[in-house]
Chain A
Amino acid sequence: MEGNVVLKMRNIHKIFPGVHALQGVDFTLRKGEIHALMGENGAGKSTLIKVLTGVYGKEDGDIFLDGTEGAVAIHSPQDAQNMGISTVYQEITLCPNLTVAENMFIARTKGAVQNWKKMNTDTDRILESLQIPARASQQLGTCSLAVQQMIAIARAVDMECKVLILDEPTSSLDEQEVEKLFKLMRDLRAKGVGIIFVTHFLEQVYEVCDRITVMRDGKLVGEYEVENLPRVQLVSKMLGKEVDDLSDIKSEVKTFDAGKDAVPVLEAEGLVSNAGIKPFDFHINKGEVNGFTGLLGSGRSECVRAIFGADRVTGGKVKMGGKDVKIAKPLDAMKNGIAYLPEDRKVDGIVGDLSVRDNIILAQQVLKGFFKPFSRAEANKVADEYIKLLNIKTASKDTPIKSLSGGNQQKAILARWLFTHPEYLILDEPTRGIDVGTKVDIQKLVLKLASEGMSVTFISSELDEMLRTCSRLIVMRDRKAVGELTGDDLNQGTVMNTIAGGDK
């Protein structure tokens, strides 16, 4: 293997039932480099990592490791470990009630005898060499999250690893903690460890990484040196849109006139929740479609969740129709005519075992009250109506919603909220993971609803969908609203520039 390469993956294929998740992906990691693996949801990053760590088998392709002749076979995480591939996951997987030393050496001793004294001195030595502020005898739970994260890394590194995979290690850390972590990463780089860094934070990539591999839709987009890839280029590659493609899908349908007669439906000022976003201002007018855009993890969902009261609102003022309202919980928002279709359909949207009918009437039923259930006949009528209106494909209205396809589940949830006849509809990623036909249906529906006077906030990872439907975009970066685009600015170039952080 040529000089300083520690890991080479070539032509990796992975097929799940119905999805070709990895389509001939190549990946190369060199000694002493921090290599960012970037891509939006569904790009195949985590699948690639799981193939590398032996969690998944692969259909085709080869993995080469430094020091081993020919392709290696990794059948289990234990195999990967033994070959020097260590992983530190987003959630800390250590035991908080054991000491640092115990955590470092857990499941690593051969035989039943453990030399506790040696274990402690060894641990202290490692901690010192990596300058981790912790003691071997300390209980892990008493360390800060960042230190715990570092200990997890130290543990991984100590197992003579050549390849260290960090899967979103920074998502629960604050800025100083991130700094400490980066210092550790740089130290390890200096020691010659190859680090694969998976993150959603652009800033962090540019701060600490040497090289970037971008993936999209299960394919490799390319491998770049950090200094040769401006941010806006990175964003465009992740989203799959050319920056200079200014010919643009821009607004054939944008009829909304933000003129003087605009009636504000909802105005929020300094709104902030406990989900880690910075305070933001927001307003939407009657009949307007606007959107939050930004990369995954930029805080766009958190913003709308704050508006709906889905997270705990910790500050800010909200007015509806000019009057102050208090939205502390979803029911408050619903009573004020707000509807929210959540981002994660499976976790927050469907009530899986309940029938399509019950899922459709649920929200309106809650609004109606505990003692006023819809009669069976009423519920059936409503269900039939919306199944027809949205063309929901289901065996019957009694079918449990979980047995429907993703797109039809999404339509049923949409039906649920339309049935509440909201003034203001928030759609968070309504088109994720559903078929193309349904995507178009939903976009058309959004525009139709707006033309009938409903206000809609539309969030999508697919920029062209947003551009096609929204007349105003709020751009989020690193959990902060960084810009608001309207009119002629609504083109891919400007949006991507804003996402990437100006002209940097």
Chain B
Amino acid sequence: MANSENAKTSSAGSLKNLVRNQCFIPVAALLLLAVFNLIADPSFFRITLGYNSAGNPVLSGFIIDIINNGSELAILAIGMTLVTAASGGQDISVGAAIAIAGSVILRVLCGGNARPETLQAPIIVAFLVACVVAMLFGAFNGVLVAYFKIQPMIATLILYTAGRSIAAWINNNELPVISDPRFAYFGGFIPGIPIPTPCFIAVACMVVIAIVLKVTNLRLYTQAVGINQSSSKLNGLNPELIKVLAFVILGLCVAVAGLIKVSRVSSINYSVIAKDIEMDAILAVALGGNALSGGKFNMAASIIGAFVIQCLTTTLYKFGVSSTALPAYKAVVVILLVVVSAPTVREYFDKITKKMKLSKEVA
């Protein structure tokens, strides 16, 4: 008797824990979109193995599209989550910073000539230079936020406005095109591997951040600073440094995303590359149920949030939603998701479930 009761409460408890879990909302949203697509058109889930024009095997299908195209966003969500947690604000210069990082990569590869016959430097060198540059810009944002105590959105507004001009300047206003097929691997396929490379890069980033969170105190420090700066300071932390660190990590994510972006088209367009991606990255963090005012965070939830956004975009493309109406549809879905994951609404649901439980018990 007692046993069965225990079992009951524990199962109720685990259900409750599941609902309480931060990943619940984004995962549920993902499932909902999946179910919708399944009903509307099951071919959504079809994955086919074909060959691309270079004769290499490639997988294709909507699911692959989502994972592939969501990679950059997922990578950015990692950095944005940390910045949000530590500073209680968001970096809106991400798109512009990607333009800079991408421009740096192309500049190093081209060595000043807009259409080089051969690469002027190894790709890895170009990427590392871009990392350094992007991290410096991250540090710049971080210093403004941490030491000059400027609101993150205002501080990053500087780079948001100036970034694309800087990117254009790096390449003397030219639009370099890389013809070496190896450079296209990062945004496309490596010969012989049918899975898009950005997926591997995104997974690598996730693994790295998981390890970093495991072997360092990044999570504890970031959360402590985001929740109570004054208290963290009295516990020997350096809140300013940790905020700068978060922005620098975001800079690294930006460099990686920038590599994928420029590799996808082997070129760059300063004014449109990664346009508005900062908003999607912030949205990913919010969809992950993370408070945009900082503090506790759940990295996995943010990353899933990023894929929810991409899934939504791909779904809308698939159904050929009229181009002018696209943003409106997106907005509606986003509003729903954000409202559902808002703490007040969750509390309300908690209350309802409690009531239902009570009435059950009475019955």
Chain A–chain B contact at Cβ < 8 A: yes
Binding site for B on A (CB under 8 A): 308, 310, 329-331, 334, 340, 342, 347-354, 358, 362-363, 365-367, 369-373, 416
What's the Cα separation between A125 and B232 when bound, in Å?
Answer: 51
Interface residues of B in 211-227 (CB under 8 A from A): 214-218, 220-221, 223-224, 227
Given contacts A334-B236, A342-B234, contact A354 B227 (CB under 8 A): yes
Chain B residues whose CB sits within 8 angstroms of the CB of A350 once the complex forms: 228, 231
What's the Cα separation between A334 and B233 when bound, in Å?
Answer: 12
Given contacts A365-B217, A373-B220, contact A347 B230 (CB under 8 A): yes
Given contacts A350-B231, A352-B228, A354-B224, contact A371 B215 (CB under 8 A): yes
Given contacts A350-B228, A353-B223, contact A331 B216 (CB under 8 A): no
By the criterion CB–CB under 8 Å, are B231 and A353 in contact? Answer: no
* Of B220, B221, B235, B236, most A-chain CB atoms within 10 Å: B235
Minimum Cβ distance to chain A for residue B295 (Å): 5
Given contacts A330-B235, A354-B223, A363-B235, contact A348 B216 (CB under 8 A): no
Chain B residues whose CB sits within 8 angstroms of the CB of A330 once the complex forms: 233-236
With A342-B231, A347-B228, A347-B230 already in contact, 14 other A-B pairs whose C-beta atoms are closer than 8 Å: A330-B233, A330-B236, A331-B236, A348-B234, A349-B234, A351-B228, A351-B232, A352-B227, A358-B224, A363-B235, A363-B236, A365-B217, A366-B221, A366-B236
Interface residues of B in 187-237 (CB under 8 A from A): 214-218, 220-221, 223-224, 227-228, 230-237
Chain B residues whose CB sits within 8 angstroms of the CB of A348 once the complex forms: 228, 230-231, 234
Given contacts A350-B228, A373-B220, contact A366 B235 (CB under 8 A): yes
Chain A residues whose CB sits within 8 angstroms of the CB of B217 once the complex forms: 365-366, 369-373
Number of A-B contacts (CB under 8 A): 77
Given contacts A352-B227, A353-B295, A354-B296, contact A370 B221 (CB under 8 A): yes
What's the Cα separation between A351 and B224 when bound, in Å?
Answer: 6
Given contacts A352-B227, A371-B215, contact A362 B220 (CB under 8 A): yes
Interface residues of B in 310-334 (CB under 8 A from A): none
Chain B residues whose CB sits within 8 angstroms of the CB of A370 once the complex forms: 216-218, 221
A402 to B, closest residue via Cβ: B227
Chain A residues whose CB sits within 8 angstroms of the CB of B233 once the complex forms: 310, 329-330
Given contacts A353-B296, A370-B216, contact A340 B234 (CB under 8 A): yes
Chain A residues whose CB sits within 8 angstroms of the CB of B296 once the complex forms: 353-354
* Of B230, B231, B238, B296, most A-chain CB atoms within 10 Å: B231
A–B complex contacts, Cβ < 8 Å, 22 sampled? A329-B236, A329-B238, A330-B233, A330-B236, A334-B235, A342-B231, A348-B234, A351-B223, A351-B231, A352-B227, A354-B220, A354-B223, A354-B224, A354-B296, A362-B220, A362-B224, A366-B221, A367-B236, A370-B216, A370-B221, A371-B215, A373-B217
Chain B residues whose CB sits within 8 angstroms of the CB of A334 once the complex forms: 235-236
Chain A residues whose CB sits within 8 angstroms of the CB of B218 once the complex forms: 370
Cross-interface CB contact of A349 among B224, B231, B238, cutoff 8 Å: B231
Chain A residues whose CB sits within 8 angstroms of the CB of B238 once the complex forms: 329, 331
Contact with A along B235-261 (1 / 0, CB 8 A): 111100000000000000000000000
Minimum Cβ distance to chain B for residue A375 (Å): 10
Cross-interface CB contact of A371 among B216, B230, B236, B237, cutoff 8 Å: B216
Question: How many residues of B are in contact with the other chain, CB < 8 A?
Answer: 22
Minimum Cβ distance to chain B for residue A337 (Å): 12
A345 to B, closest residue via Cβ: B231
What's the Cα separation between A340 and B230 when bound, in Å?
Answer: 13
Chain A residues whose CB sits within 8 angstroms of the CB of B230 once the complex forms: 347-348
What's the Cα separation between A373 and B214 when bound, in Å?
Answer: 8
B296 to A, closest residue via Cβ: A353
Chain A residues whose CB sits within 8 angstroms of the CB of B232 once the complex forms: 351
A367 to B, closest residue via Cβ: B236
A332 to B, closest residue via Cβ: B236
What's the Cα separation between A329 and B238 when bound, in Å?
Answer: 9
By the criterion CB–CB under 8 Å, are B235 and A362 in contact? Answer: yes
Minimum Cβ distance to chain A for residue B219 (Å): 8
What's the Cα separation between A108 and B254 when bound, in Å?
Answer: 52
What's the Cα separation between A365 and B230 when bound, in Å?
Answer: 17
By the criterion CB–CB under 8 Å, are A347 and B231 in contact? Answer: yes
Minimum Cβ distance to chain A for residue B214 (Å): 8
What's the Cα separation between A348 and B229 when bound, in Å?
Answer: 8
Interface residues of B in 282-318 (CB under 8 A from A): 295-296
Chain A residues whose CB sits within 8 angstroms of the CB of B295 once the complex forms: 353
* Of A308, A331, A366, most B-chain CB atoms within 10 Å: A366
A361 to B, closest residue via Cβ: B220
A379 to B, closest residue via Cβ: B220
What's the Cα separation between A354 and B335 when bound, in Å?
Answer: 29
What's the Cα separation between A363 and B220 when bound, in Å?
Answer: 11
B230 to A, closest residue via Cβ: A348
What's the Cα separation between A27 and B236 when bound, in Å?
Answer: 46
Minimum Cβ distance to chain B for residue A279 (Å): 23
What's the Cα separation between A308 and B228 when bound, in Å?
Answer: 19
What's the Cα separation between A416 and B217 when bound, in Å?
Answer: 17
Chain B residues whose CB sits within 8 angstroms of the CB of A349 once the complex forms: 231, 234
What's the Cα separation between A352 and B215 when bound, in Å?
Answer: 24
Chain B residues whose CB sits within 8 angstroms of the CB of A371 once the complex forms: 215-217
Cross-interface CB contact of B237 among A308, A358, A366, cutoff 8 Å: A366
By the criterion CB–CB under 8 Å, are A353 and B234 in contact? Answer: no
Minimum Cβ distance to chain B for residue A488 (Å): 36
Contact with A along B79-94 (1 / 0, CB 8 A): 0000000000000000
What's the Cα separation between A32 and B217 when bound, in Å?
Answer: 62
What's the Cα separation between A74 and B215 when bound, in Å?
Answer: 59
What's the Cα separation between A350 and B230 when bound, in Å?
Answer: 10
A340 to B, closest residue via Cβ: B234
Give the top 6 A-B pairs by smallest Cβ distance, nearest first: A331-B236, A366-B236, A351-B228, A334-B236, A363-B235, A373-B217
Chain B residues whose CB sits within 8 angstroms of the CB of A416 once the complex forms: 235
What's the Cα separation between A347 and B217 when bound, in Å?
Answer: 22
Minimum Cβ distance to chain B for residue A225 (Å): 42
Chain A residues whose CB sits within 8 angstroms of the CB of B237 once the complex forms: 331, 366
What's the Cα separation between A118 and B218 when bound, in Å?
Answer: 61
What's the Cα separation between A369 and B221 when bound, in Å?
Answer: 11
Interface residues of B in 152-169 (CB under 8 A from A): none
What's the Cα separation between A351 and B235 when bound, in Å?
Answer: 10
What's the Cα separation between A354 and B228 when bound, in Å?
Answer: 10
Minimum Cβ distance to chain A for residue B159 (Å): 27
B228 to A, closest residue via Cβ: A351
Chain A residues whose CB sits within 8 angstroms of the CB of B236 once the complex forms: 329-331, 334, 363, 366-367
Chain B residues whose CB sits within 8 angstroms of the CB of A369 once the complex forms: 217
* Of B218, B236, B237, most A-chain CB atoms within 10 Å: B236
Minimum Cβ distance to chain B for residue A490 (Å): 30
What's the Cα separation between A310 and B231 when bound, in Å?
Answer: 10
Minimum Cβ distance to chain A for residue B188 (Å): 37
Minimum Cβ distance to chain A for residue B9 (Å): 15
What's the Cα separation between A455 and B142 when bound, in Å?
Answer: 40
* Of B218, B227, B232, B234, most A-chain CB atoms within 10 Å: B234
What's the Cα separation between A330 and B217 when bound, in Å?
Answer: 18
What's the Cα separation between A349 and B234 when bound, in Å?
Answer: 8
Minimum Cβ distance to chain B for residue A329 (Å): 8
What's the Cα separation between A363 and B231 when bound, in Å?
Answer: 10
By the criterion CB–CB under 8 Å, are B220 and A365 in contact? Answer: yes
Chain B residues whose CB sits within 8 angstroms of the CB of A347 once the complex forms: 228, 230-231
By the criterion CB–CB under 8 Å, are B227 and A353 in contact? Answer: yes
What's the Cα separation between A372 and B230 when bound, in Å?
Answer: 23
Minimum Cβ distance to chain B for residue A99 (Å): 27
A373 to B, closest residue via Cβ: B217
